[in-house]
């Protein structure tokens, strides 16, 4: 809980005590009413109201009404001659239990969904950003109700900024879209996550790209299905702080709600039901093909911006000979297929995604890393009775073909105590529910550290101990010897 939230709970409990033991003391009641009002207002303005505090809000509202009525009656000198001389101990005990229970409810709810702080990134750069709508006039939107609509995307570009330049600029907050995405994934009402847009990131707007380097390697990020380009801000901040320009992509109809600058929005469209797994497999090939084409179009756009950027930020700053792509779940599948379809991507990292499309039938030429959660890995055991929901029958043979036929270096890493959503920032949002057997900071550090190490190795050419074997820093992470191969063979 934030300090002002603790103060509000404490003032509420004190107010309940005053109401019970000193109901006729006008001055004390007036001071308590004023304290409650001030605590509510200061908390609302600085911290902002959130649903996790609702039990305390209810108690505070009732207390304010009671004290206001008492002050009104006292001012009019209304006497109640039939009032008992001794207050009912039953009423006192009941009220005390109710107040304490509601206050405890607030503490439980805020501990389940705390107002967390983003972990600091370890690189030397500050982080700037801008968002942009881009339209691919060469492709029609297949799921739009309007015939002839073109494929529209929303992207965010995060880029390195000098620390001195970023000082004094207001920090960006988590966007509201993140709460909608989490609600879709876990089936939790979105109001529970409405406070996320009060959580500051380490990102600023309106800053120039750092001149410390003449140009920067580029990474594209594709989120999971029903998710958002903002789902993994800890990894994005870490990469940018180390000198990468990262571009997050929202894919309409498979991402969560995508809101465009003119206000129109495109919501996630659930997959239809298919009678056979083969039909679903073919459907996913088509869907991932669209997303892979999105990634190539974004790279086309960046190539244009490197020569003429309408925002006058990125001209000449993009190292288009060092472009990588990574993604989670459906975004991981997008990553693998983009590598197969577009050789401009020089390296790719798949965070527990599938293999649908060309990638499952051709040999990858680029370095490729796959990271799987321990929970999903257990689904590959033929004797496993419980299968993770992201597991599908064709996954294992596709994985085997991709990893064994590759022409370049491959890495296959399994992380124990991870589940499918552990590759996002969800452990920070609810440590008690989603940080399994580790702190939330350690959870996000695993993903961002291996992601940084992989791209530092293959886009910057820097040797990385994390890629060379077991790490005492991350004992949960284990390389599979069958699929982890240093081939040292360059693609033609």
Q: What string of DSSP letters covers 101-125?
A: HHHHHHHHHHHHS----PPPPSSS-
Distance (Å) of CA 377 to CA 185, 374, 415, 485 = 20, 5, 9, 19
Question: What's the pLDDT score for residue 465?
Answer: 96
pLDDT in tens, 401-453: 999 999 999 999 999 999 999 999 999 999 998 998 899 999 999 999 999 99
Q: What string of DSSP letters covers 244-308?
A: -EEEEEE-TTTSS-EE-TTS-EE---PPPP-SSHHHHHHHHHHHHHHHHHHHHHHHHHHHHHHH-
Q: Crossing angle, helix 3-21 and helix 89-112, to 10 degrees?
A: 170
> If you average pLDDT over every residue of the chain, what do you get?
89
Question: What's the pLDDT score for residue 79?
Answer: 46
Q: Are strands 245-250 and 216-222 parallel, antiparallel or unpaired?
A: parallel
pTM (2 d.p.): 0.86
Question: What's the pLDDT score for residue 256?
Answer: 92
**Residue 150 CB contacts under 8 Å (≥ 6 apart), including other chains:** 135, 136, 137, 139, 140, 141
Q: How many helices (H) and strands (E) does the chain have?
A: 14, 13
Cα separation, 281 vs 275, in Å, equals 11
Task: Indicate if the pLDDT at residue 285 is higher than 70.
Answer: yes
Cα separation, 291 vs 252, in Å, equals 9
- Domain range annotation of the chain: 3-112, 126-479
Question: What's the pLDDT score for residue 68?
Answer: 85
Task: Indicate if the pLDDT at residue 385 is higher than 70.
Answer: no
Cα separation, 110 vs 104, in Å, equals 10
Distance (Å) of CA 198 to CA 131, 185, 419 = 19, 21, 27
pLDDT in tens, 194-208: 889 889 999 999 899
Torsion of CA 358, 364, 367, 370, to 10 degrees: 50
Cα separation, 363 vs 345, in Å, equals 15
Residues 282-306, mean pLDDT to the nearest whole number? 97
Helix (H) or strand (E) holding 3: helix 3-21
* Range with lowest mean pLDDT among 50-64, 196-210, 332-346, 401-415: 50-64
Task: Indicate if the pLDDT at residue 488 is higher than 70.
Answer: no
Phi, psi (degrees; rounded to nearest 5) at 153: -130, 155
pLDDT in tens, 78-114: 444 444 444 555 566 666 677 777 778 888 878 888 8
Helix (H) or strand (E) holding 91: helix 89-112
pLDDT in tens, 449-476: 999 999 999 999 999 999 999 999 999 9
Query: What is the token pair recorded at 380?
Result: 């590959």
Helix (H) or strand (E) holding 128: strand 126-140
Is the distance from CB of 423 to CB of 352 less than 8 angstroms?
yes
C-alpha closest to that of 241 among 161, 180, 319: 161
Residues 31-44, mean pLDDT to the nearest whole number? 88
Question: What's the pLDDT score for residue 59?
Answer: 83
What is the per-residue burial (b if ≥16 Cβ within 10 Å, else e) of 222-241? Answer: bbbbbbbbbbbbbbbbbbbb
Q: Crossing angle, helix 3-21 and helix 54-75, to 10 degrees?
A: 40
Measured CA angle at 326 (ends 387, 189), to 5 deg: 55
Q: Which fold has domain 126-479?
A: Rossmann fold (3.40.50)
Sign (positive or negative) of CA dihedral 14, 15, 21, 25 = positive
Q: How confident is the model at residue 491 (pLDDT cuts 50, 70, 90)?
A: very low
Q: How confident is the model at residue 389 (pLDDT cuts 50, 70, 90)?
A: low
Question: What's the pLDDT score for residue 89?
Answer: 54
Task: Indicate if the pLDDT at residue 11 is higher than 60.
Answer: yes
Question: What's the pLDDT score for residue 82?
Answer: 44
Q: How confident is the model at residue 128 (pLDDT cuts 50, 70, 90)?
A: very high
Q: Are strands 216-222 and 265-266 parallel, antiparallel or unpaired?
A: unpaired
Q: What string of DSSP letters covers 15-32?
A: HHHHHHH-TT-HHHHHHH
SS3 464: coil
Query: What is the token pair recorded at 429?
Result: 């949002």
Of residues 22 and 371, which shows the higher confidence score? 371
Is the distance from CB of 169 to CB of 206 less than 8 angstroms?
yes
Question: What is the radius of gyration, based on Cα positions, of the chain?
Answer: 27
Residues 26-49, mean pLDDT to the nearest whole number? 85
C-alpha closest to that of 462 among 316, 247, 248, 244: 244
């Amino acid at each position: 809980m934030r300090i002002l939230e603790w103060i509000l709970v404490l003032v509420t409990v004190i107010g309940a005590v005053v109401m019970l033991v000193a109901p006729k003391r006008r001055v004390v009641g007036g001071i308590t009413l004023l304290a409650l009002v001030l605590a509510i207002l200061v908390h609302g303005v600085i911290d902002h109201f959130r649903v996790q505090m609702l039990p305390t809000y209810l108690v505070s509202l009732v207390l304010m009404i009671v004290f206001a009525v008492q002050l009104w009656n006292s001012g009019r000198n209304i006497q109640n001659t039939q009032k008992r001389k001794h207050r009912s101990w039953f009423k006192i005990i009941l009220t005390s239990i109710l107040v304490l229970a509601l206050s405890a409810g607030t503490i439980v709810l805020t501990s389940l969904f705390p107002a967390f702080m983003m972990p600091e990134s370890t690189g030397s750069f500050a982080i700037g950003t801008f968002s942009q709508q881009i339209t691919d006039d060469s492709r029609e939107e297949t799921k739009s109700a309007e015939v002839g609509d073109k494929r529209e995307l929303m992207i965010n570009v995060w880029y390195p900024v000098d620390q001195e330049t970023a000082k004094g600029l207001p920090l960006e907050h988590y966007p509201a879209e993140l709460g909608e995405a989490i609600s879709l994934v876990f089936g939790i009402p979105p109001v529970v996550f409405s406070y996320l847009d009060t959580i500051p990131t380490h990102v600023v707007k309106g800053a120039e790209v750092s001149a410390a380097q003449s140009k920067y390697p580029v990474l594209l990020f594709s989120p999971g299905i029903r998710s958002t380009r903002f789902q993994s801000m800890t990894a994005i901040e870490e990469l940018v702080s180390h000198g990468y320009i990262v571009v997050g992509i929202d894919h309409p109809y498979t991402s969560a709600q995508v809101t465009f600058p003119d206000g129109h929005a495109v919501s996630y469209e659930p997959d239809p039901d298919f009678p056979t797994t083969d039909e679903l497999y073919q459907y996913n090939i088509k869907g991932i093909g669209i997303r892979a084409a999105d990634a190539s179009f974004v790279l086309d756009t960046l190539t244009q911006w490197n020569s003429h950027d309408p925002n006058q930020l990125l001209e000449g700053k993009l190292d288009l000979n060092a472009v990588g792509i990574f993604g989670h779940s459906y975004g991981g599948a997008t990553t693998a297929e983009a590598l197969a379809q577009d050789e401009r991507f020089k390296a790719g990292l798949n965070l527990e995604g599938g293999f649908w499309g060309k990638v499952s039938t051709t040999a990858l030429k680029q370095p490729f890393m796959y990271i799987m959660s321990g929970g999903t890995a257990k689904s590959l055991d033929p004797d496993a009775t419980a299968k993770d929901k992201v597991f599908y029958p064709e996954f294992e043979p596709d994985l085997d073909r991709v990893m064994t036929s590759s022409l370049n270096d491959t890495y296959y890493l399994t992380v124990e105590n991870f589940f499918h959503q552990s590759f996002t920032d969800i452990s920070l949002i609810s440590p008690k529910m989603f940080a399994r057997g580790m702190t939330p900071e350690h959870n996000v550090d695993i993903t961002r550290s291996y992601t940084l190490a992989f791209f530092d190795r293959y886009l910057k050419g820097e040797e990385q101990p994390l890629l060379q074997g077991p790490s005492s820093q991350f004992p949960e992470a284990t390389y599979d010897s069958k699929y982890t191969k240093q081939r040292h063979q360059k693609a033609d």
